[in-house]
Structures are given as structure tokens and as C-alpha cells.
């Protein structure tokens, strides 16, 4: 935790530099926040026993969960110190949304914020894109801990793809790939009509599937060129980072293990874009070119669970908005920065349902679930089904709690799904260009928990609530 806070304080100091460059009054409160975070980090590091203890799975689950909570907790300091947020609940909600790349915001007027805070919001999403624990494992391999336990507890997906046998090398390669993609997207955005600050902040939020924008109307005010670039960036953010590394290293034989996921993810994206184009053209009166652009960009945001909004989607027909919620639940590929259940799990669930129906017709037939022409073990199918149940259970309970707290059913449904999938925008007042400022305090804490649970895929978080977890 101490090492983590030292890193967070350095990121805050970077924002202090931006505040000084733009002569903002927020620079000094940001500096105080960075120094306080640095001091706490130093205390944790200096007064902790310097032992290379073995970290078992239980400790890994605890560390991974605490990492996201602690980062969000100290990330609230700049908002509170500058006074742009007056209460801790809103500040914690905003930072949990940032680090978990959810993109839900409590700000009604984003453009009034200092640039240092705008950069901090986008930077938090970029750091949380691949995972804070992954960053620690990449930068501090000398911790001497059981890296694979942390790697397994952090990385999404039922199968853990590795580029090397050593976890530290795998994590480092993933971060290098992530950094290269960020630079490429930024170069394309900056080459257009965007200034440096707008290009870098939207790159951070786009490639991390985060969705924070520096404008009240999200990316709707950007040029068509910039919107298309961000659409491609969002689509890329939903692809397994390992595939980019293997493609560059010309290891095409290993690429085959994820081809079925890739084609499913891409085909659903294109199909949903076509359907949305037709609906917008027929119901909203947009011409075909505008309908396709809006549909292409918004669909890329949905399937990657990024959360950028290209138009006021609350004015679109309700079936399309519900369709968006369904497909953001599906999410991107395992090992990507996107949220949701992940394409791999959905494919396994779909094929398992099909096999169950086949076995009803042919009880003696043996029909194993296959992914990329390889049979999937029963243990993986069991784990996927368990996660699906826990995921749905979390949605139902959170939806019930929000309705009890006075949130309308439609808005509560959109908010819960938007939070747990990391998509961000929901329905009604929290959809489109809306925000979560009007939600009751209790509902914001419920949604913040959904963000954390969705980012860590529920089971990692729920593990620490089991009494057995704390017994020796």
C-alpha cells in the first residue's frame, strides 16, 4: 500500500505541474494533497517489516481489493482540497468511477473544472485501464512476492494469457503494449483539430475504456475525424492486449487461441452499428452519413464499455438504449481494458446452453463445450456459471436497494448496469449527457460498490466477506 501511495503522489505532482502551467489556484491544494499522500506512503514503507513473505491466494484477494479502495480514497483529496466537491461521498464516487474506468460522474458542469483536475480524472482512468496491481507488478518486480497470486486475482477472464512464463515479464509487456497504443491514438488525435490537452485527456479515457471527457456534451462537439479515431480506439480497448503483443512478435500460431473471441466481439460490434444506423435513420430523421457516424461511434463505446457519448441518447428510441445495456453487459474480450462479463464467458455460457439442449434430445451423446475447437473443462464452465450468477445477483440486489432509496426503476436499472459493467451512462437523467449528481447518498455508495465489484469481477470482492476467509 505504501509503494502504491508513493506512485499516486507522483501522479498528483504531475497534475500540480499542469496547474502551475495554466496558473490555476487549484495548484497549491493539489500540491498539499500530493505531499500528504507522499507522507502516508513513506510511513507505510519505512515502518513495514522488510520481509519477502509469501502471498497466498487469500492475501492476494485482500490486497487487490484494498488497492482500488485506497487509491480511490486518497484520490479524493484534490477534489476536496480545491473545494470543487463539498462532500466526501461525491468525491469518492468520482474517483472510484475514474480508477475503475466506469466514467459515471457527479459533475453537472465539467467545463468549469480546473485543467489540473480534468487531467487527474482522465489520468486515473488510464492508470486503472490495465490495472493498478498490474502496474505495481511491472514497476516493482523486486518485491519478492508470489506475483502470480496477484496477477490471477487482478486479471479478468477465466483463462490467464501470458506472453512469458514469468509474470513480471508478461505484465511488463502488457504495459508496453498499452503505452504504445496510447501514443498511437494520441498522435492521430493531435494530428487532427484537437489541441494537446484535449487530445491527451481523451486518449487516456478512450484507450482505457473509461469515458471521462473534458466537455459537458462528452465527445459530441468533436469533429467527425476525432470521433472516428476515438471509435477505433474504443474498439481496440476491448481487444485482449496479449493479441497486440503476439501480432507484433509475429506469433500467429498463438493468436488462434483467441480468434473466436475476436470475431465474435467484432461481428457483434458491426451488427449493432448497422442496426443502430437503420433505427436512427428511420426514427430520428438523420441522414445516412450522420446516422452511421453516430451509430458507429456510440456502438464502439457500448461494446467496449467505454462510456463516451456522441449524441443525447436519451432522445433515441428506448429499445436501442436497452439494447445498449444488454451489450455492455457482454463487454469486450478477456484481458482487455473493458468491463462486462467478457466475450469469452458469454461464448462459454451460450455453448453450454446449446449443449444442454442437445443432450435433452440425445442423452447418450457426448458434446463437450468447445472454444477455438478445444474442449473447455468442466471446472471452467462451473466457474463461469458461478460468476454469471453472482453478477446477476449483484445487479438484482443493487437495483432493489436503489429503488428503496427513491430512485425510479428505469433510472436505477440503467445506473446499476452502467456501474457494474464500467459503461457509465445509464437511462433517463443519468443517461446521455446526464450525470449522477442528483442520486441520494446511499445510492451513490451502492453504485460505487458496483463499480468495484464489476472491475474485480465480483468474486474477488465477495471473498473477503466470507467468515472462512479470515480463519487460519
Q: What is the Cα–Cα distance from 417 to 94, expressed in whole angstroms?
A: 17
Q: What is the Cα–Cα distance from 408 to 219, expressed in whole angstroms?
A: 27
Q: What is the Cα–Cα distance from 322 to 190, expressed in whole angstroms?
A: 34
**Cα–Cα–Cα angle for 189, 221, 331, rounded to 5 degrees:** 70
Whole-number Cα distances in Å, 112 to 108, 124, 215, 418: 9, 19, 9, 25
Q: Which three cell numbers stand for residue 28?
A: 497549491
CB atoms within 10 A of CB 52: 10
Cα dihedral sign, 125-336-132-69: positive
Q: Residue 164 — left, alpha, or beta (φ > 0 → left; ψ -120 to 50 → alpha)?
A: beta
Cut 0.85: pTM above it: yes
Q: What is the Cα–Cα distance from 248 to 294, expressed in whole angstroms?
A: 32
Q: Which three cell numbers stand for residue 319?
A: 429499445
Cα dihedral sign, 280-286-288-294: negative
Whole-number Cα distances in Å, 130 to 141, 151, 163: 17, 11, 15
List, as one string, the DSSP characters of 9-68. HHHHHHHHHHHHHTT-TTHHHHHHHHHHHHHHHHHHHHTS--------HHHHHHHHHHHH
What pLDDT is recorded for position 259? 83
Q: What is the Cα–Cα distance from 449 to 356, expressed in whole angstroms?
A: 34
Residue 464 DSSP class: G
Q: Do 230 and 308 meet the contact criterion of CB atoms below 8 Å apart?
A: yes
Q: What is the Cα–Cα distance from 287 to 295, expressed in whole angstroms?
A: 12
Q: Do 314 and 434 meet the contact criterion of CB atoms below 8 Å apart?
A: yes
Q: What is the Cα–Cα distance from 384 to 347, expressed in whole angstroms?
A: 10
**Cα–Cα–Cα angle for 271, 276, 281, rounded to 5 degrees:** 130
Q: Residue 135 — left, alpha, or beta (φ > 0 → left; ψ -120 to 50 → alpha)?
A: alpha
Q: What is the Cα–Cα distance from 160 to 221, expressed in whole angstroms?
A: 39
What pLDDT is recorded for position 142? 47
Question: Which 3 state secondary structure label does DSSP give 342?
Answer: coil
> Mean pLDDT of residues grouped by 10 in the chain (472 residues)?
90 93 92 95 84 68 87 94 92 94 92 94 90 61 51 51 58 84 95 93 94 93 95 93 79 73 92 95 91 95 94 91 91 87 90 87 81 83 90 95 94 94 90 93 96 88 88 76
Q: Do 171 and 76 meet the contact criterion of CB atoms below 8 Å apart?
A: no
Question: Which 3 state secondary structure label does DSSP give 371?
Answer: strand
Strand pairing category for 370-371 and 374-375: antiparallel
CB atoms within 10 A of CB 409: 12
Q: Which three cell numbers stand for residue 147?
A: 506475483
**Cα–Cα–Cα angle for 398, 323, 294, rounded to 5 degrees:** 120
Q: Which three cell numbers stand for residue 332?
A: 469486450
**Cα–Cα–Cα angle for 57, 333, 216, rounded to 5 degrees:** 105
- Distance in Å from the first CA to the final CA of the chain: 23
What pLDDT is recorded for position 51? 59
Tell me phi and psi for residue 371, to 5 degrees.
Answer: -130, 120
**Cα–Cα–Cα angle for 91, 92, 94, rounded to 5 degrees:** 65
Amino acid at each position: 500500500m505504501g509503494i502504491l501511495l508513493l506512485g499516486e503522489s507522483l501522479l498528483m505532482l504531475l497534475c500540480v505541474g499542469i496547474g502551475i502551467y495554466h496558473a490555476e489556484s487549484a495548484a497549491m491544494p493539489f500540491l498539499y494533497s500530493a505531499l500528504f499522500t507522499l507522507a502516508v506512503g513513506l510511513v507505510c514503507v519505512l515502518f513495514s517489516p522488510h520481509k519477502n513473505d509469501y502471498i497466498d491466494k487469500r492475501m492476494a484477494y485482500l490486497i487487490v481489493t484494498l488497492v482500488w479502495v485506497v487509491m480511490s480514497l486518497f484520490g479524493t483529496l484534490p477534489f476536496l482540497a480545491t473545494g470543487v466537491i463539498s462532500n466526501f461521498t461525491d468525491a469518492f464516487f468520482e474517483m472510484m468511477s475514474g480508477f475503475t474506468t466506469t466514467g459515471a460522474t457527479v459533475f453537472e458542469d465539467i467545463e468549469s473544472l480546473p485543467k489540473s483536475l480534468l487531467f487527474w480524472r482522465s489520468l486515473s482512468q488510464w492508470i486503472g485501464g490495465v490495472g493498478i496491481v498490474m502496474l505495481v507488478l511491472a514497476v516493482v518486480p523486486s518485491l519478492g512476492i508470489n506475483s502470480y497470486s496477484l496477477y490471477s486475482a487482478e486479471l479478468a477472464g477465466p483463462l490467464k494469457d501470458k506472453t512469458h512464463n514469468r509474470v513480471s515479464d508478461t505484465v511488463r509487456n502488457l504495459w508496453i503494449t498499452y503505452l504504445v497504443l496510447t501514443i498511437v491514438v494520441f498522435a492521430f488525435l493531435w494530428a487532427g483539430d484537437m489541441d494537446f490537452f484535449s487530445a491527451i485527456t481523451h486518449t487516456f479515457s478512450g484507450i482505457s475504456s473509461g469515458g471521462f471527457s473534458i466537455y459537458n456534451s462528452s465527445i459530441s462537439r468533436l469533429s467527425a475525424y476525432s470521433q472516428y479515431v476515438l471509435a477505433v480506439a474504443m474498439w481496440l480497448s476491448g481487444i485482449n492486449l496479449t493479441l497486440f503483443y503476439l501480432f507484433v512478435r509475429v506469433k500467429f500460431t498463438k493468436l488462434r487461441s483467441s480468434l473466436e473471441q475476436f470475431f465474435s466481439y467484432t461481428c457483434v460490434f458491426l451488427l449493432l452499428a448497422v442496426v443502430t444506423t437503420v433505427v436512427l435513420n428511420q426514427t430520428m430523421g438523420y441522414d445516412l452519413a450522420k446516422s452511421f457516424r453516430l451509430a458507429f461511434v456510440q456502438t464502439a463505446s457500448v461494446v467496449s464499455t467505454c462510456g463516451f457519448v456522441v449524441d443525447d441518447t436519451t432522445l433515441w428510441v428506448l429499445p436501442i438504449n436497452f439494447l445498449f445495456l444488454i451489450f455492455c453487459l457482454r463487454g469486450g474480450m478477456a484481458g482487455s481494458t473493458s468491463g462486462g462479463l467478457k466475450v469469452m464467458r458469454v461464448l462459454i455460457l451460450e455453448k453450454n446452453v446449446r449443449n444442454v439442449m442437445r443432450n435433452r434430445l440425445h442423452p447418450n451423446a457426448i458434446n463437450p463445450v468447445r472454444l477455438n475447437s478445444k474442449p473447455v473443462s468442466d471446472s471452467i464452465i462451473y466457474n463461469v456459471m458461478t460468476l454469471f450468477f453472482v453478477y446477476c445477483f449483484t445487479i438484482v440486489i443493487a437495483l432493489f436497494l436503489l429503488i428503496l432509496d427513491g430512485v425510479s426503476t428505469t433510472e436505477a436499472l440503467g445506473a446499476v448496469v452502467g456501474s457494474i459493467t464500467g459503461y457509465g451512462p445509464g437511462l433517463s437523467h443519468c443517461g446521455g449527457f446526464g450525470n449522477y449528481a442528483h442520486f441520494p447518498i446511499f445510492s451513490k455508495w451502492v453504485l460505487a460498490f458496483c463499480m468495484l465489484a464489476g472491475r474485480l469481477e465480483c468474486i474477488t470482492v465477495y471473498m473477503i466477506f466470507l467468515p472462512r476467509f479470515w480463519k487460519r
